[in-house]
Amino acid sequence: METNRSLTIIIVFFLLHCFILSCSSSITHNIITDEDSLLSLKAHITHDPGNLLAINWSTSSSVCNWIGVSCGIRHHRVTALNISYLGLTGTIPPQLGNLSFLALLAINDNNFYGSLPYELARLHRLKYINFNHNQLSGNVPSSVFNISSLQELTLKHNRLSSLVNVSGGGPNLMSLDLSENSFEGEIPSFILECKQLQFLNLSINNFRGGIPKEIGNLTKLKTLSIGVNKLEGTIPPQLGNLSFLALLAINNNNFYGSLPYELA
């Protein structure tokens, strides 16, 4: 009886030991994954005027102590990356799509160029993206708009030129700023499916066609800015459905006729 009891204790201890090692290994692997992703970003930066990342982003310290990096207490993973206003020049590597706990990604007011990687759509916890005031070009990956957690997407003042229609808009997207780019074509229909939108800025682009009447279905809109484009036609009366609208900017287009009385 005593032998069986001792054997049971040994087995339990062994299993517990293995479990602890397994968890420790898993956590270490996750931290290493985040670190490798950020080191890849560092490698894609060609100009770092303050040498901030060059010096601070070092494997001699924890990634959670790096400039612009925040980690969650519970899972000890990178949850926020904010390297705005650092004067950085470089491209955005696809490895950023491995930061699976990331909720905030802000690289605004730098000189990043090139395209946005499709791998960003893998960040299923991402809530805020701010790439304002860079030199990004090409397409905006349609898959980014399908990130169900995304609440704010800000791409103002870049050189982006194409939006691909996707099936369904972001279900929780509340703020979308695509202003000051080179987008062409009609206002994409998937934007009209983002029912939670409160802020929509498409101004200073090359959008053509008319104002889709379906914009009237975005009943939570408070700001609608579509000025300085190549839009034309009349103002649809469905805009009168936007009972929360506080700002409507439609200047410098080719609209004709009078404002619908529904907007009065």
Q: pLDDT tens per residue, the chain (264 residues)?
A: 555 554 444 443 444 444 433 333 334 458 899 999 999 999 999 999 999 999 999 999 999 999 999 999 988 999 999 999 999 999 999 999 999 999 999 999 999 999 999 999 999 999 999 999 999 999 998 888 889 999 999 999 999 999 876 666 788 999 999 999 999 999 988 898 899 999 999 999 999 999 999 999 999 999 999 999 999 999 999 999 999 999 999 999 999 988 877 776
Q: pTM of this prediction?
A: 0.86
Is 199 part of any domain?
Answer: yes
Q: What are phi and psi of 213, to 5 degrees?
A: -65, -20
What's the chain's length in residues?
264
pLDDT at position 163: 83
Is 257 part of any domain?
Answer: yes
CATH code, domain carrying 111: 3.80.10.10
pLDDT at position 47: 97
Is 79 part of any domain?
Answer: yes
Is 106 part of any domain?
Answer: yes
pLDDT at position 260: 79
Question: C-alpha distances in angstroms, 245 versus 84, 148, 213, 215, 227?
Answer: 31, 25, 15, 12, 16
Is 204 part of any domain?
Answer: yes
Strands 89-90 and 45-47: antiparallel
Neighbours of 244 (CB within 10 A): 11
Q: Which residues contact 146 (CB under 8 A, 6 or more apart)?
A: 121, 166, 167, 168, 170
DSSP states of 218-231 as a string?
A: -TT-SEEE--SSEE
pLDDT at position 141: 85
Is 168 part of any domain?
Answer: yes
Kind and range of the H or E run holding 248: strand 247-249
pLDDT at position 168: 67
Is 17 part of any domain?
Answer: no
pLDDT at position 85: 97
pLDDT at position 184: 94
pLDDT at position 109: 98
Is 214 part of any domain?
Answer: yes
| Domains contained in the chain, number | 1
Residue 159 belongs to what domain range?
A: 24-263
